[in-house]
Structure 1
Amino acid sequence: MVNKTLIILFFTAFTLSKFNALAQSTTIYLVRHAEKLTVNPAERDPNLSDKGFQRAADLAKVLQKKKINTIYSTNYKRTLATAMPLATYLQLAPVIYNVKDPSTIAIKASQDNKGKTALIVGHSNTLIPVIKALNCSVPFEGLTDDDYDMLFKVVIDENGKANLTVTNYGEVHHTTDSKNKKVMTAPIMN
């Protein structure tokens, strides 16, 4: 009798935990890499500048309590260095994604982190396409080379409806107007 009760309790707890995970929202934070070295314009893969390393540390402070489950980064020094302070704090290895395929990383991050939280570190020319692939409207069409302090937060509810909030973190460093923008969109159809 005790074994049967334990089996029923275990099955009920397991079923409720699966149902709870499906009913929770998924959060995906997105940031452009921090400030990069610009001493050699021909350098295709520069590291971060001193300001960039400080911004990466600021990002870790902002996100360290957000229960990040997975960190995605392109395979460039500047994106990996931006992710590294948070990855080190959380003891996570960044997952490398293809910079040329924004829709694939959007789908992967949203599907692999259902009910959880993830971070995607990208570039000025890739973040907006990734956000659009998450079915969010954006308050502007692109980022400039001087936009470094924006933190994009996409929350996908249990019905697949995605909401975007744009805030800033660290030292102010942007030219695109992003101050506390919130955009709501229709459900994601993956």
Structure 2
Amino acid sequence: MRTLFFLIITLFSSATFALPDTLFLLRHAEKRDDINPNLSEAGKARAEHLVSMLKDKEIKHIFSTNYNRTLETVKPLSQKLGIVVTHYNPRQLTALVKQLKTLKGNTVIVGHSNTTPQLVRLLTDHDVTINEDQFDKLFVIKGGTLTQLSSNN
């Protein structure tokens, strides 16, 4: 009985704190200057490059805020993979983290220069930054380990 109780508690605890296999977090690509701007030509090129970087990563879920620049950043990837983009509220990141913990499979999350570092912090306890002029940082979280890549490569 004691062993069964321990097993149930262990399984419940690991499921509660589990994350999808690999998380790919990034800021939207380069944007035009405007209210709710679209991507610039450089941003469109970066969005296409993200397809080549992530198309073979067995992505199962894509999340984006509901802004032109974030949606346009993941549109080529979602079209290539046939995955519908799930919108999240950038003001409710704790709710997004709870949702992510229920998923299985690799996941892409596109946000902003302020929300992406906040998400990394909530998921890993690591502090990262994205300057206003940086669009190339790609944060990868796998097994609780954080790695930073560049979408310039």
Same-fold call, TM > 0.5?
yes
Partner Cα distance (2:139, 2:120) in 1:
9
Counterpart of 1:123? Answer: 112
The SS at the match of 2:110 is strand
Q: Percent identity?
A: 34
Partner Cα distance (2:31, 2:102) in 1:
31
Structure with greater helix share of residues: 2
Listed as ranges, the gaps of 5+ residues in structure 1 are 1-21, 157-161, 172-190
TM-score (norm 2): 0.83
The SS at the match of 2:132 is coil
CA shift, 1:170, in A, is: 2.4
Counterpart of 2:126? Answer: 137
Query: Taking structure 1 as reference, are residues 154 and 24 closer, same or farther at Cα in structure 2, changes over 3 Å only?
Result: closer
2:45 is the counterpart of 1:54: yes
Query: Taking structure 1 as reference, are residues 127 and 25 closer, same or farther at Cα in structure 2, changes over 3 Å only?
Result: closer
Out of 30, 37, 41, the residue aligned to residue 35 of structure 1 is: 30
TM-score (norm 1): 0.68
The SS at the match of 1:31 is strand
Q: Which amino acid aligns with 2:130?
A: L
Cα RMSD of the aligned pairs, angstroms, is 1.9
Counterpart of 2:56? Answer: 65
User: Moved runs in structure 1, 4+ residues, more than 3 A?
Assistant: 22-25
Counterpart of 2:140? Answer: 153
Report the number of matched residues.
137
